[in-house]
Amino acid sequence: MHKEFFQGLSNDNTLEFSQTEWLKLIREEANQRVIDLPVPSAKDEQWRFTDLKKIYQKQFRSAGKHTLNYKDVEKSILLESGYQLVFVDGLFSKQFSRLPEPNSGVFLGGLQSALVNHPEEIQATLISTNNEKNNFFASLNTSYLRDVAVLHLAPDTSLEKPIHLLNISTGENTCVNPRVFFKIGAGSSVKVLEEYVSIGGKESLTNIVSDIYLGQSAKFSHYRVQREDVSSFNIAHSSVDLQKNSNYQFCTISTGASISRQDVEVVQSGEGTTCGFEGLAFLQGRQVCDLHSKIIHGKPQGTSKQVYKTIIGDRAKAVFNGQIFVSSEGHLSSAAQSNKNLLLTKNGRVDTKPQLEIYADDVKCAHGATVGQLNDDEMFYLQTRGIPKDVARKILIYGFAAEVIENLGLESLIVSLRNEILKLTGSPVSL
Amino acid sequence: MRNTNGGNPLVHIDGLATEIEGREILKDLTLSVFPGEIHAIMGPNGSGKSTFAKVLAGHPSYEVTKGGITFSGIDVLDLSPEERAREGIFMGFQYPVEIPGVTNSSFLRLAFNTAQSARGEDELDPIEFDDYLQDKLKMLEISSDFLDRSVNGGFSGGEKKRNEILQMAVLEPKLAILDETDSGLDIDALRVVSQGVNKLANNDNAIILITHYQRLLNYIKPDFVHVMHEGNIVKTGNEKLAQELEEKGYDWILDET
Ligand SMILES: Nc1ncnc2c1ncn2[C@@H]1O[C@H](COP(=O)(O)OP(=O)(O)OP(=O)(O)O)[C@@H](O)[C@H]1O
Ligand SMILES: [Mg+2]
C-alpha cells in the first residue's frame, strides 16, 4: 500500500480560503486521486532509479504555525533582493516578507491576497494543473494545499533587483506542500531566487508544485536552490509555459535533502522561444538527487540549452533523465543537452539518460553525458605549486562546479554557494 | 660572472630510469646541476624532455625503476610533488593546465602562503600580497586584469607561459625546470619573459631550460647545453652546440652516438 506515510496529515480548515467553493472542490478531487492513484515505485519507468521507500516508511504530520525570530531568518536573506516573499512551513509570512506597493504592476504575495487581486488567474491555474497532472505527488500537494506563492508581473514591467522567494521548513517529520505560481507578463523581465532551506526542519517532506507562465517576449531568470537538511525529502514538479519570443533561464542547485526529485517540464508554446537550463547537484553520504527534465519544442525556432552537472561523493547517487521532444511544428529548433558527472568515490552512482524524440525537419540537436573522476594532470599542476593534495582536490571539485555557480549573476548567491561547496568539501581555503 | 661549480650540486640525478605504463622512457640518465648554473636541454620530439621535468617534479604516473634524485642533499624520490615544491623545485609546464573557479590571484596567494608557512614565515593577506605582486607583474608586463580571471582560463598560449613565469617569480624556487616556456611566445613576449627569468636567476638557484630553439639562448645564456635522445643525455656542450644544432639538426649527433 505504501500510503501510511501521509495518513497523519490533516487539512487546516481554519485557513481563510478554505470555504472558497472552487478550491474546496479541487482539493476534494485531488484527495480522491491521492486515494486512487498508486504511489510511484521502481516499477514505473519514470521512477526506475529513485527508490522512495524511505519516504513511504515514514509517518508525516501537518506542520503547525511556527514562529521564527528574525535572527534565525536573517542568514538566509539574499542581500541584493528587491522584494522578499517568505513562507514558513508552507504558510505566507507577512512578518519576514518585503512586498511591492499595491497597484505597482508587481503583485507578490500569498494565496489570500492573490485571491483578491488576481482571482481568475489563480483559479484557472490551480484548476488546469490539477487536471493535467494526474500525478500522485502533485495531487497530494493540491489536496493538502495551505497557501500559494504568487508573483504576477503586469506586461512591460521590468524589475532590476531580484525577488527572493524563501521557503523555510521548521518541523520534524512534517509534510509541507508549497505551491508556486509565477506569471510574467508580455515584455516584462525579472529574476527570482526560489529557495528551500531548513531552519530546525528535519526528516520532513517538502512536496512542491510550480506553474510558471511567460508572456510574449518576457524574460525570466529563475534560480532554484534546494539546501534543506540532509535528512529531508524534497519533491518538485514544475511546468513552464513559454509564449512567443520569451526567454526562460532556469538554474537549479541542490545540495540538501536525503532524496530529492525534480520534474521540470518546459513547453515552448510560441515561436522563437529560448530556454537555458543549468543545474548543479552536490551529493554526499547516501543522498539521492534525481532530475527529470522535459523540454517540448512545440513551435518553430525554439532553442534550448541544458548544462547539468553533478558531484557525487561517498555512496551518493545522481539520476538525470533529459527528455527533448520536438513536435512536428518544431522545425528549425535547436536543442543542446550536456550532463557531466564528477564521481569522487568508487561507491558513488550515476544514472544518466538522454531521451530524444524528434518529429520535425531542420532540427539541430546535440547531447552528451560524461562520468569522470578528478583529473590527474590538474592535480599534479596544483601540487607542483606546493598545494597539498587534499586542498588541490577541493579546488578542483569547486572548479567543476564553478561553471554553473559563477554564472549565476547574483553575487551574494555565488558567494554563499561557493562557501557552501568549499565547506562541504571540508576545505580550509577561501577562493 | 655567475658562480658555477661551488661546492655540492643543487640537484644530482644519478642513473635515473623511469617507466610509464610498462614503457621505459628515461634510461640511465645522469646530470648534476650546481647553484648558479643554467642548463639547456634540447632534443627531438618524444625524446623524454617533458618526462624528465615531470619526474623531477614528482609526477605520480611515472615510476622510477632505477637510480635516484638528490636535491639539496636530500633524496626526493619519496617526496610528493607538493613536498618537492616546498623544498624549492618548480616546474614550468609545456602545457599549463586551466583551473576554473579559482582566480589567478587567489591561486598565487594560496601557493605563496603555503610556501611561506612551510618556511615558517608569515602569510600575507590579500592586500599585502597584492603589493608583493605588483613588481612581478610589471617585470613580466602582465596586466593586473589577469589576476581576476580564473587560473589560465581562456588565456592564450603565450599568456599561459607568462603566467608560469609569474608563478616562478612568486614562489622563488631554488630549481626551476622550464619546459618549453618559449614555445608560443611572440618576439616581444620572448624578450620580456627571458629578462624576467634572468632577473630571477642568482648564485643560489639554478635553472633547467627545455627548448627547441637556439633563439631563447640568445636571451638566457646557458652554462651547458645537453642533447636528449631516447631518454638519455647523449651530448653535452656549451652555447655553440645549440648553434650547431640550429644549423645541422640532430641527425649528426644521433649518428655519432
Ligand atoms: N602517459 C604516457 N603513456 C605512454 N607514453 C608516454 C606517456 N607520456 C609520455 N609518453 C611517451 O614518452 C616519450 C617521451 O615523451 P615526452 O613528452 O617526455 O617527450 P618530449 O621530449 O618532451 O617531446 P616534445 O619535444 O614533443 O615535447 C614519448 O614517446 C611519449 O609518447
Ligand atoms: Mg615536451
Domain count, chain A: 2
Domain housing A171? 4-270
Q: How is A158-195 classified by DSSP, letter by letter?
A: B-SSPEEEEEEE--BSEEE--EEEEEE-TT-EEEEEEE
Q: Averaged over B136-142, what is the pLDDT?
A: 90
Q: Do A384 and B85 touch (CB under 8 A)?
A: yes
Interface of A with B in 353-392 (CB under 8 A): 376-378, 380-389, 391-392
Q: What residues have CB less than 8 Å from A125, skipping those under 6 apart?
A: A181, A211, A213
Q: Do A385 and B111 touch (CB under 8 A)?
A: yes
- Per the CB < 8 A criterion, the answer to whether A319 and A346 are in contact is no
Q: Do B81 and A406 touch (CB under 8 A)?
A: no
Residues of chain A positioned with their CB less than 8 A from the CB of B103: 431
A131/B contact by beta carbon, under 8 A: no
Share of chain A above pLDDT 90, in %: 80
Same domain, A400 and A258: no
Residue of B19, B49, B226 with the most ligand 1 atoms within 8 Å of its CB, for mutation? B49
pLDDT of residue A133: 64
Q: Averaged over B22-50, what is the pLDDT?
A: 96
Nearest CA to ligand 1 atom 26: B45
ipTM: 0.95
* Domain assignment present for A324: no
Chain position carrying cell 482571482: A119
Confidence at B1, pLDDT banded by 50, 70, 90: very low
- Chain A: nearest CA to B228, how far in angstroms? 24
Q: Could you give the strand order of the β-sheet that contains A163-169, starting from the edge strand earlier in sequence?
A: A91-98, A83-88, A163-169, A189-198, A219-227, A247-254, A274-283, A303-312, A334-343, A364-372
Domain end call among A227, A253, A270: A270
* Domain assignment present for A201: yes
Nearest CA to ligand 1 atom 9: B51
* Domain assignment present for A66: yes
- Phi, psi (deg, nearest 5) at residue B105: -70, -40
Q: Which of A378, A383, A384 to mutate to test the interface with B (most CBs of B within 10 A)?
A: A384
Report the predicted TM-score, pTM, of the whole model to 2 decimal places. Answer: 0.89
Distance CA B151, CA A407 (A): 17
Q: Averaged over B32-36, what is the pLDDT?
A: 97
pLDDT of residue A431: 57
Residues of chain B positioned with their CB less than 8 A from the CB of A389: 80, 82
User: How many other CB atoms are there within 10 angstroms of residue B2's CB atom?
Assistant: 12
Domain end call among A206, A240, A270: A270
Q: Which amino acid is at A262?
A: Q
Q: Averaged over B158-168, what is the pLDDT?
A: 94
pLDDT of residue A411: 92
**Residue B75 in this model has a pLDDT that exceeds 70:** yes
**Residue A132 in this model has a pLDDT that exceeds 70:** no
Q: What is the pLDDT of residues A311-328, one digit of tens each?
A: 999 999 999 999 999 999
* Domain assignment present for A289: no
**Residue B52 in this model has a pLDDT that exceeds 50:** yes
Residues of chain A positioned with their CB less than 8 A from the CB of B107: 385, 395
pLDDT of residue A66: 78
Taking the CA of residue A81 as centre, how many other CA atoms within 13 Å lie in the half-sphere pointing to its CB?
23
Grid cell of A184 as nine digits:
510574467
Domain spans, chain B: 11-256
Share of chain A above pLDDT 70, in %: 97
* Domain assignment present for A291: no
Q: Averaged over A106-118, what is the pLDDT?
A: 94
* Domain assignment present for A138: yes
Distance CA A245, CA A218 (A): 7
Same domain, A386 and A262: no
SS3 A392: helix
Domain end call among A270, A290, A311: A270
Q: Do A386 and B60 touch (CB under 8 A)?
A: no
**Residue B131 in this model has a pLDDT that exceeds 50:** yes
**Residue B5 in this model has a pLDDT that exceeds 70:** no
Q: What is the pLDDT of residues A41-99, one digit of tens each?
A: 989 999 999 999 999 999 999 988 878 899 999 999 999 999 999 999 999 999 999 99
* Cα-based distances in Å from B173 to A196, B30, B115, B160, B205: 49, 22, 10, 19, 7
Q: What is the pLDDT of residues B215-242, one digit of tens each?
A: 999 999 999 999 999 999 999 999 999 9
**Residue A283 in this model has a pLDDT that exceeds 70:** yes
Confidence at B87, pLDDT banded by 50, 70, 90: very high
Q: Averaged over B60-74, what is the pLDDT?
A: 95
Confidence at A277, pLDDT banded by 50, 70, 90: very high
* Domain assignment present for A284: no
Confidence at A38, pLDDT banded by 50, 70, 90: very high
Confidence at A1, pLDDT banded by 50, 70, 90: low
Q: Tell me the CATH number of domain B11-256, given options 3.30.1360.120, 3.40.50.300, 3.40.50.2300, 1.10.3860.10.
A: 3.40.50.300
SS3 A149: strand
* Domain assignment present for A45: yes
B59/A contact by beta carbon, under 8 A: yes
- Ligand 2 centroid vs B26 CA: distance in angstroms? 13
